[in-house]
Chain A
Amino acid sequence: MMDWAYLFEIALNGVASGGLYALAALAFVLVYKATRVVNIAIGEMLMIGAYLFFAFAASFSLPIWLAVLGAVLGTGLLGAVVERTMIRPLLGEPPISVFMVTVGLASILVGLVEIVWTADQRRLPEFLPKTPVMIGDAFLAPKVAYGALVALVLIVLVLLVFRFWRGGVALRATASDQAAAYSMGINVPRVFSLAWVASAMIAAVAGIIVGSIGGISSSMGVFGLSVLVVVIVGGLDSVLGALVGGVFIGLVEALAGSYLGGEYKLLATFVVLVVVLMIRPYGLFGTHEIERL
């Protein structure tokens, strides 16, 4: 006999943690849309955000809000430096070269974290409210619930900014046709920087939330693996895909984890990935690109 209340609770938790996937996937899609770069280091940028927060909040004992701000700005700066020094020089090179550079970037970031903070797991200072959240009869872990709330607010904010601000319009135009955007007076290199900085900042917030739920370590970049699944399922260049895919993968992981056992989480996720790739290779909401020679 199926326990509906239990299922509801599991689903709710899945959706909530899916919110974090959605947020991180949004960071990935932003860079891909604007610059066509597959940033494999997205999980590691998340990690840098979490560690910077750890440094500001725990080591320097700054107030939480200041530590968050510092971590977001610091990671944004990292995004700018990465774009300027590693990505822009590769403009016009084959996508696989740029992809490999981001693989290297991931290793460099892990190495940096291990040099500065060692490979030990650490706990972030508690700052999310501790009262359990009840939705109907379903119980939601407070960290997961508030984390999802923060993710939701940030996602809405990002979408509004890119909908109504002309920088967002410039980004969409660049994503659509670089040459036309350039001739329209849009500073395409600056749009590239903007995309990387914004992506890094969003990743930082996601990293802080992920870290405060599960602790931080130099291997927390594997979170990026699930994010990759999310964006491939949703479609690399689709914001809607990132959001729907995030929630969907969160749900799949939660259901598989509870009904099949924790070791089946990744298996289920990758089965979904394979199925989606077989049916819609460009993702659920991705652009079906026609290569013209």
Chain B
Amino acid sequence: MPDAPRPAAAVSSSPVLQVESLTLAFGGVRALGGVGFEVAPGSITAVIGPNGAGKTSLFNTISGFYRPSQGRVLFEGRDITRLPAPQRARLGLARSFQNIALFRGMTVLDNIKLGRHSHLKANVFDALLYLGRARREEAELRRDVEERIIDFLEIDHIRHAPVSALPYGLQKRVEMARALAMQPRVLMLDEPVAGMNREETEDMARFILDVRDEWGVTVLMVEHDMGMVMDLSDHVVVLNFGQVIAQGAPAAVQSDPEVIRAYLGAGDVGALRDKLRGAQATAAQA
């Protein structure tokens, strides 16, 4: 896995995505309580936290599935808090889902091409007669999708396969391809390597880095795989019980006592571990 330090220059200009004191409640349950952070353009920002910390709620609020009760989401300086999801997609905010959300029953190519849907303009008559705009748009889309996205993600061999027949890791990759077809400015990945084996995880990590380095797309991801988060990210945001308990460079976050406590559950887990170790040692001696 690549571990070269990221160029600091990319992280300096004004944030591409700003989340300001975002609050979201489901009935009496407060999923997010005043979450705020910024995503620098060209960065890879990771949101981590224990299960139920509100990571996916945060993602759903940023992409427009949930309406926050308080707070704002700014995309390239523009307040998008009230915009419905499809319009956010058109602005350049693409996302993948934790449980793969591909269009089953369609081929890989059809799925990817659907990513471009919101950018197409041909009307029903153009499409039926396959004239002018429809033909031009289709040709352009094909070229872009086939030459760039499919090659890039190395899924050329399965382009005509129905997505439901693919193994899990490849489905994740197709979902990423579809998000890239949306020509995003910010790519939001919800657990991109969940359930993947070591090799698949490393492939995905390489794709995420390349998306940023070669395509200039800013990446915001939720991920559980700590190794990958620490290797890839420029900036890590830690959520617990719907609040940001720490954020900063991976190394700083990793050693933050608050974060360690959130992950290991107070100090007694450490104490328990010591006790176990002690017991093992005694057993070995005996």
Contacts and interface: CB of A to CB of B under 8 A. Distances in A.
Contacts of A59: none
Nearest to A190: B86
B182 A184 contact: yes
A176 B97 CA distance: 15
Contact of A182 (B86, B119, B123, B130): B86
A160 B95 contact: no
Interface residues of A, number: 22
A24 interface: no
B97 A184 contact: no
A185 B97 contact: no
Given A183-B63, A186-B86, A166 B127 contact: yes
A216 B47 CA distance: 63
B126 to A, nearest CB: 9
B65 interface: yes
Given A164-B130, A184-B114, A177 B104 contact: yes
Interface string B172-201: 000000100010000000000000000000
A173 B85 contact: no
Contact of A179 (B65, B87, B105, B122): B65
A167 interface: yes
Contacts of B8: none
Interface string B74-104: 0000000000111101100011010001111
Contacts of B178: 184
B248 to A, nearest CB: 29
B117 A185 contact: yes
Given A167-B124, A185-B118, A180 B85 contact: no
A184 B124 contact: no
Given A166-B117, A172-B103, A176-B106, A183 B89 contact: yes
Closest 8 CB pairs between A and B? Answer: A185-B118, A185-B89, A180-B101, A176-B103, A165-B127, A165-B124, A185-B86, A164-B127
14 contacts: A161-B124, A173-B103, A173-B114, A180-B102, A182-B65, A182-B86, A183-B65, A183-B89, A183-B95, A184-B89, A184-B115, A184-B117, A184-B178, A185-B90
Interface of B: 63, 65, 84-87, 89-90, 94-95, 97, 101-106, 114-115, 117-120, 122-124, 127-128, 130, 178, 182
Given A180-B103, A184-B89, 13 more contacts: A161-B127, A165-B123, A165-B127, A169-B114, A170-B117, A173-B106, A179-B65, A179-B97, A182-B85, A184-B118, A185-B89, A185-B90, A186-B86
